[in-house]
Amino acid sequence: MYQWDFGILWSYRWLFLNGLGVTVGFTVVIVVCGLLFGLLGAFGSLSRFRALRLTALAFIEAFRCTPILVQLIWFYYALPILAGVEMTPITASALALSLYGGSFYSEIIRGGIVSIDSGQSEAGAALGMTPIQTMRRIVLPQAIKRMIPALMNQSIIQFKNTSLVSVLAVPDLVYQSQVAAHDSYRPLETYTAVAVAYAAILIPLTIIVRRGEKRLAVSE
């Protein structure tokens, strides 16, 4: 029977905290940037102009249909050779993860917008609103409510995807725990603790969002 000894991890606490800080900070950056890319992708794919629609579609499918691990490696190793663009591991992974997340956010946002009954835009237009006013005042406020569960889900995936940046030696929680595991010869304890840390952050977040959803639903 394996003898668990979590006590040994205490001496690595600063290493873990450091890694956790990087992971959380990274998530904030890639969720915010990813949402921006997602908005661009969604409005692009709904555009009246064919060229914009095709560009948005190409972006969405390129990032949605390739593995994130491959994208990370590609951004860090291939871009310098092909395009002469040198990036630090942190920039390369932030960019790859934001674009990857953005491709999924695009589809969520687009789906939310088209799910709003066309009668709503018609009513806005009939009042004399421009398409932009109708989008901002009528469609988006309703669509966002419908998008929130899916956006939250994707953001949870994004949070966990940050664990992949360890392949580019970005010192996130997983990377630091690898260091700790090698040092302590206690990988079971180390990775169990890491899993608990991810869950301990995510579960309260999901509860908060669920409460928020209920409050938003009241007006409907």
d(CA 151, CA 212): 13
Q: What angle do CA 73, 160, 173 make, to 5 degrees?
A: 80
Query: Buried b / exposed e across 133-162, counting CB within 10 Å, b at 16+?
Result: ebbeebbbebbeebbbebbbebbbebbebb
Binding residue for other proteins, selected from 13, 137, 182, 210, defined by CB under 8 A: 137
User: What residues have CB less than 8 Å from 9, skipping those under 6 apart?
Assistant: 16, 180, 184, 186, 189, 190, 193
Binding residue for other proteins, selected from 2, 51, 119, 185, defined by CB under 8 A: 119
Stretch that binds other proteins, among 77-85, 104-112, 118-126, 168-176 (CB under 8 A): 118-126
User: Whose CA is closest to 6, among 198, 195, 170?
Assistant: 195
Binding mask 142-181 for other proteins (x = CB under 8 A): x--x------------------------------------
CB 151 within 8 A of CB 105: yes
Does residue 131 belong to the site contacting other proteins (CB under 8 A)? yes
For other proteins, the closer CB: 29 or 140: 140
Residue with tokens 């990036």: 87
For other proteins, the closer CB: 117 or 183: 117
Give backbone dihedrals phi and psi of 86, rounded to 5 degrees, phi first.
Answer: -90, 130
Does residue 215 belong to the site contacting other proteins (CB under 8 A)? no
Shortest distance in whole angstroms from residue 41 CB to other proteins: 23
Stretch that binds other proteins, among 15-23, 122-130, 165-173, 199-207 (CB under 8 A): 122-130
Does residue 47 belong to the site contacting other proteins (CB under 8 A)? no
Residues binding other proteins (CB under 8 A): 117, 119-120, 122-123, 125-131, 133, 137-138, 141-142, 145, 219-220
